[in-house]
Structure formats: structure tokens, C-alpha cells
Structure 1
């Protein structure tokens, strides 16, 4: 007989306590506000500027529009069906367990690997301040702090993210104010550059714009965390709705706005944009003393924030998957409202990725990085397809108008899917991203096949 979970989520297999509701609205609001600001914006945007020149603003605007549509779709489903499994639970509800399995475990691999990468990045900064200290020791210290905080109570994750996000928002807000004053020529000791750096808008033609677009896509990490966290808040629906409604101006201000300030202040082909980072280059241009160390502090905060969020996110995705019968039952054990074994396992896998970067950097670790390279795009496709299938059901089941609704349904959903398909084509054209695309595709197909086999076995039993 066909599996019935395409109509409803299967009964949960609870073990021990359920998750708590320890996150407050101020936690969710700040996670939504600052979670979007990651190290990829502060550091990774330099390569995009070097390739696209001033047209990087267009690249971030295009990718930002796509991200905004994805966030709206995810918000619609998460407000209707709050779950710590977020898009994985929605995919299962829409398409069956195989889809939830593939989307959830591929994202878990991505988050665990990201924990290791962020730990390495943070350790390099700390080692620069204290030369001679081993990087692995710094990574271990950071991992212990955030693993311990996540083991204790969800409110600890919320407090860390609240203050991390406040620092990031404050830093980028100050950067935008100083940059705007410098562009206007009213900052002491500076003169307005006008449009002198914007003349060659497409210096490397459409190919450069494509490289910039691909770089910008993967800078938008962290948007999913707020829908995962909302399930443990005091008012999940209100939290998701607030996050989704502010997504547009957050993306426009933090990403597109800061890119516009940078390319206006600094020549796009300045070596410092890549070697020192675009934000350091801009701050030096307007005469801020110690700009590199100021940004090192901000980048360290961004990396530690991402570590904390990804330990949290990976443990909740794993917990939700196993609670729905799609993994080792031990990971679904919760005590004190926290899935402690899932937190420990996710942290240990992240630290294992760090060890691989030292022991097998050229083969196993490189393969792992390629495998997660396009996971976020795969997740976005699952979100869009799930929203297409669930929208009518949400409207039928809702006693009133849904709190969050996708704009111009189904047209903008189809446009978003077309945009994702176009990005896949662009990735297939570039040698570096082509390998990522193939590796991620292989992992996703493998997980989907395992999930489908499990689904069929469960249906027969």
C-alpha cells in the first residue's frame, strides 16, 4: 500500500522529554536580524568584487531577490507547521519520507562540516593574536564552549546569538554610516570619490558577473536557522512571521547596501580587496586606524556566531529526523528540553572535519568540501517544490488566512525554481563549481535512494 505520509506527517517517535520553548521573542528577533550576517559576507565577498567589479551590487541584488523568495516560501510553511525539522519536515509532508530524509541529512552534513570550517577560521584569527599557540587547541576550546552552552539549555544558545547578532548588526551599521558619510564627503579628512570607481561597471564582462553571482549566492547562509529555532520559542508563528517580514530590508541593507558602499569607496581591482578583505580596504580608505584588527574582531564574532548556530541547527535537524523515524533512535533522546546526544554527535563530527583538514587535506577533506558545495541550492529546491505542493493544503486546513503567504503564488515560486535551475547551469559551466555540483548531486541522490528504500520497507511492514 502507498505510504500515507505524503498527506500527513507520520506519528512522532518520542524518546524522553520533548524540546523546550526556552527562546524568547527578543532572541528570535535578533537571530533573524543578525543571523544573516556571516563571515562569508565579510571575507568571501572580496573574490566576488574582484571578478564582477562594481556589478557585484547587481549580483547581490539578483541573488538577494532569490533568497527573499525562498525565505517567504519557507516562512509560509513554517508558520503553518512549526517544526525543529523546518524544510526537512515540510519536504516529508509534501513529498514523502524520502524527501525529508535527503533534505535533512544533506543539510546536517553541511552544518557539521561548516562547524569545523568556522572553527578553523576562528582559530587562525586567535593564533594571529597569540603566535605559537596551536590551531587545534583553539578549535577545541571554541567547540567546548559552544557545545557546552548548547548542552545546558536552549536559552544559552539564544543568549549567545542575541549578543553576537547585536555586535554584528552594530558593526555593519557603523560601517554603513561611516561609508555613507565618506561618500558624501562630510567625514573629516576625506573627500567624496563620487562615481570615479564605478565607471567600468562590468570590467570582466558577463563572465565576471556570473562568478560574482555564484559567490554571492553562498554568502546568504544562516537564513534557515530562525525557522528551526522558532519551534522552540514561546510563540513560533509570531517569530517566523516577524523574521520573514523583515527579510527584505535586512538583505537590502546588510548585503546590497554594504557592497554599494565598498565599490564606491575602493577601486574594484585594488589588491587589498582580496588580500585584506573588502571591509578592511574600505575602512582604511576612509582613514580608520587599526581597521584590520577591528574587522578581525568582527569576523571572529561572525565565525563564533556561526559555530554556535550550526551546532544548534545540526542537532535540531538530526533530532527531528530521528523523531520521525529516519535515523538512529539514540539521537532523539532529549533531557531538560535539549537533545544532548544529538548536540554531542554533531559537535564531534564537526571536530572530526577539523582533524581531516590536518590529516587528509588534499583528498578526503577536499572531497568533503566539494560534496557540501551546492547543498544549499538543493535545500532551496526542496523548499520551493514543497511550497508548491503544500500551499493548497495550508489554505484548506487554516481556519483563517495564513499568517505568512507567498507573494503571487504560484508564479513567483516557479520563477524562483527557474532561477535555481539557471544557477545550476551556471555552476556546470565553471570548472571549480562543476565538481561541487556533481559531488553534491551524488550525495543527494544517494540519500534520496536510501530514504526511498526505507520508505518502501516501512510501507511493506
Structure 2
């Protein structure tokens, strides 16, 4: 299959090049890593520890395997359709436009709430360091800072991403070095063991997958790399490579840090109460190095979530809104691109406004927000896997059954099982959101604004 590169790609799909192309493989890998946050387990370690009965690294390892199948599906669809919009574009072109809208609507729940969740997590972490400052003040400051950076253009966002990534990795290295030293010295009874990977006395498949429904939140973000397709140089294969590479690197870091942390709380399979669970990683840090490391980790969680992660989350969400508005599935004012900075200016401002309002409303409600984010992302992943089979095997009649049938089927089964074990409140809220999306879709159809990808499909067929 011949695949053109550069700005000609978009013209084949009926779009003009409006966003600035300046992202290379390394930029996308950094973007994905910052979105997933290398130190993400710091904030939810206790919850995953309780749910998995101490087998946190095993949970993350299974989560990595589950996400690899989804990442491969993203890779295949990003090669076929190198446009912004992520799973909205892939399901719409791979299955049918109405399904694409529902996929975009589902992941919109994730993308709209992720910045809010991150601001709330950051404000909560800063409250443990500076308790005299109301959490609402931190949220307002985080939103303003990220909006200014995103409005300045993709180059500014790239530079900020690199700074934040280096800072997070530095904190992680400090923790790993001190944790290894503490375990080797037997601090608190810690000793080297593989029980966190497999404890036969506690292991059960439902147990691990229930924990995975919590831990999967840490992996969400690798998919957002695909929203930057129209700002990438080097051809459409770059997005797929960056997706897999970022996922592999972050998964290794997740497993390493949770294994060491699990070894530092020997002899237990759950923390005694909610406070101990919420502060588990901070308490571990204080045990191995004193209060100073606890403060450093709390600040790192706040900066990593509320600034670094929220920065790229706002960028990804604005690109999804831009893509759906360009196809007349959302209000047209969202497709406005700043002529100088070449960023979707109004979409960025809308995401900032929504994040601010929701963040102030949901202060302290981390678990509810996390569950809703998971539902939106996992539902869209299911439709992504279906789109791979539909596009490659049914529409294009390829015989690549391994990549385009076996992989998406396994990915669909794993994601479906995790979604089935998700929090009941998240499932109810998510289904209500999808029902609202169905109503919006019907209204758009009645107004004659149903999108068609026939020209795009014809362009792809010509390249085979």
C-alpha cells in the first residue's frame, strides 16, 4: 500500500491543512508519557493495593498486556486514517458515521473529565503541603496556567512537556534508589520477594480484573497521541510507533515502582482504612527517607497531574472538539483555528471553561470522576477494535487475520471484561451519557447534519 506523507494526506480525506505540523516521533512519545504520567501510581497505589490484595505490579502488568492490543488497533487505524479525531474518526470511517459519532461522544466523556480529574487530584495533593490555601484556588491557578501555554502554540506545549517529563523522571529515580536501599537494609521488615507479582493464597481472576478497572486509569492517555495526527511530520506510521513506544516505557516504570512500594509494606494485603489507603505512597516515602521525600512526592503528584498531564489533556480534548466540529457534529465555532499560532483556539478556551466549572464543583470527588473517565475511554476502545475488523476485513477484504481479527478480538474481550467489572455508578452515569449522545445524533440527523466519509473511503481504496 502506497502511503503519501505531508499535507497531501489531509486533502485526500477532504480536509485542508489548518493545524501546524511540527511534531516528530520523540515529541509524540513525550506527549504520550506526560499524558499517562510516569508517576501516576503514586496517587492511586493504595486503592489498587486494596483491590488486588497486594498484587499491584501484577495488576499493572496485566493492564499493559490489555492496552497493547488496543495500542495495536490504534496503530492500524492511524495508518489508514491519518487525521485528527482519534477513535471518532476511526470508527466513523471504519464502521459507519453514526458509530463514529457515538465513539467520539463516549471518549469525549473521558477527555472532558480527565482535565477536571487532574485538577482535583493536584489540588488535593497541594492541600497536604499547603493546607491553608483552599483547593479551589489551586484549581483556578492550574487552569489559567495550562490555557496560556496551550494558546501559545504546539512548540510551547512541547517544551513544557519535556520539562515536566524530566522532572517526573527525576523524582521517580530518587524514589527507586531510596526504595532499593531501604529494601536491601530490611527497613520495616521489607525484603526482596515476588509475592506482589503472584500470591497464590490471594490470587483470583475476578480479583485482579476488579483491581485492573481502577489501575487502567493510569494507562489512559496513550490513545491521545492519535489526536495530534494532523500536527505530525514524518508520515502516518509515526503516530502508531509513538503510541506503542510510549505505552511500553510507561508500563515498565509502573511495574517497577509499584513492585518496590509493595515490598515496603510487607505482611499485609490491604490497608486498615480509607485514609491509610489514600496516603499509602506518601507514608512509604516518609518511611524510607523522612518527611522531605513525602513532600517532594506530593508536589510531584500535584505538578504531574494538574499541570503536566492536564496540559496535554486540554490539548487532546481541544483537537477532538475541533475534529467533530469540522465534520459539523458539534457547533461550528469550535473549528476556529488561530491564524498565527495555528491551534484550535476556541476549543481550547471551551475545555478550560468546562474544566474550571467542573473542577470547582467536584472538589474532593476523585473516585467518582475517575470511574466516569474509565467508562468513556473503555467504551470507545471497544468500538475501536470493532472498527479494525470492519475496515480491514469487511470493507477492504484483506486476509490479515492475525493483526486485523485476532488482535482486536482479544483486545475487545479484555476491555469488555474490565468494563463489566467497573464501578456500578460509573456504568449508570456512562450509559446516561451515551443515551444523551444518541439523542444528539438523532437531532443532527433531523437537521441534515449527518457526516459522510464516502470521499475518504474512496481515497483510501485508491491507495491500496
Please indicate, yes or no, whether the TM-score normalized by the shorter chain is above 0.5.
yes
- The question of 1:323 aligning with 2:326 is answered yes
Question: Aligned equivalents of 2:287 and 2:323: distance in 1?
Answer: 48
Q: What pairs up with 1:297-446 in 2 under 5 angstroms?
A: 297-303=299-305, 304-335=307-338, 336=340, 337-357=342-362, 371-392=372-393, 408-427=403-422, 433-446=423-436
Question: Alpha-carbon deviation of 1:60?
Answer: 2.0
Q: Secondary structure at the match of 1:410?
A: helix
CA contact (8 A) 2:74 2:240 kept: no
Question: Aligned equivalents of 1:59 and 1:407: distance in 2?
Answer: 26
Question: Alpha-carbon deviation of 1:218?
Answer: 2.3
Q: Secondary structure at the match of 1:193?
A: coil
Question: Aligned equivalents of 1:413 and 1:129: distance in 2?
Answer: 44
Deviates more, 1:62-71 or 1:160-169: 160-169
CA contact (8 A) 2:38 2:169 kept: no
CA contact (8 A) 1:49 1:56 kept: yes
The count of aligned residue pairs is 434
Question: Aligned equivalents of 1:89 and 1:367: distance in 2?
Answer: 28
CA contact (8 A) 2:47 2:278 kept: no
Q: What pairs up with 1:252-263 in 2 under 5 angstroms?
A: 252-263=251-262
Aligned to 1:111: 111
Question: Aligned equivalents of 2:228 and 2:140: distance in 1?
Answer: 25
Aligned to 1:195: 193
CA 1:168/1:406 → structure 2, altered by over 3 Å: closer, same or farther? farther
CA contact (8 A) 1:21 1:234 kept: yes
Deviates more, 1:158-167 or 1:123-132: 123-132
Q: TM-score, normalised by structure 2?
A: 0.81
CA 1:246/1:178 → structure 2, altered by over 3 Å: closer, same or farther? farther
CA 1:208/1:241 → structure 2, altered by over 3 Å: closer, same or farther? closer
Question: Alpha-carbon deviation of 1:320?
Answer: 0.5
CA contact (8 A) 1:322 1:329 kept: yes
Q: Secondary structure at the match of 1:54?
A: coil
Structural RMSD (CA): 3.6
CA 1:435/1:132 → structure 2, altered by over 3 Å: closer, same or farther? closer
Deviates more, 1:30-39 or 1:348-357: 30-39
Question: Aligned equivalents of 1:49 and 1:367: distance in 2?
Answer: 18
Q: Secondary structure at the match of 2:54?
A: helix
For structure 1, the residue ranges without an aligned partner over 5 or more in a row are 1-7, 398-404, 428-432
CA contact (8 A) 1:53 1:263 kept: no
Question: Alpha-carbon deviation of 1:235?
Answer: 2.4
Deviates more, 1:263-272 or 1:39-48: 263-272
CA contact (8 A) 2:109 2:373 kept: yes
Question: Aligned equivalents of 1:460 and 1:386: distance in 2?
Answer: 17
CA contact (8 A) 1:11 1:324 kept: no
CA contact (8 A) 1:123 1:136 kept: yes
CA 1:56/1:406 → structure 2, altered by over 3 Å: closer, same or farther? farther
Q: TM-score, normalised by structure 1?
A: 0.82
CA contact (8 A) 2:37 2:304 kept: yes
Aligned to 2:92: 92
Aligned to 1:451: 441
Aligned to 2:459: none
Aligned to 2:460: none
CA contact (8 A) 1:102 1:444 kept: yes
1:283 to 282, 285, 289: 285
CA 1:425/1:130 → structure 2, altered by over 3 Å: closer, same or farther? closer
> For residues 217-274 of structure 1, what are the alpha-carbon distances to aligned partners after superposition, in whole Å with 9 as ceiling and x for unaligned?
2221211222222431222535324323425632541222222222223224455861
CA contact (8 A) 2:329 2:451 kept: no
Question: Alpha-carbon deviation of 1:377?
Answer: 0.9
Question: Alpha-carbon deviation of 1:449?
Answer: 4.5
Question: Aligned equivalents of 1:12 and 1:111: distance in 2?
Answer: 26
Question: Aligned equivalents of 1:55 and 1:348: distance in 2?
Answer: 39
Question: Aligned equivalents of 2:12 and 2:104: distance in 1?
Answer: 16
- The question of 1:172 aligning with 2:162 is answered no
Question: Alpha-carbon deviation of 1:44?
Answer: 1.3
CA 1:252/1:275 → structure 2, altered by over 3 Å: closer, same or farther? closer
CA contact (8 A) 2:25 2:239 kept: no
Question: Aligned equivalents of 2:11 and 2:236: distance in 1?
Answer: 19
Question: Aligned equivalents of 2:50 and 2:169: distance in 1?
Answer: 25
Q: Secondary structure at the match of 1:84?
A: coil
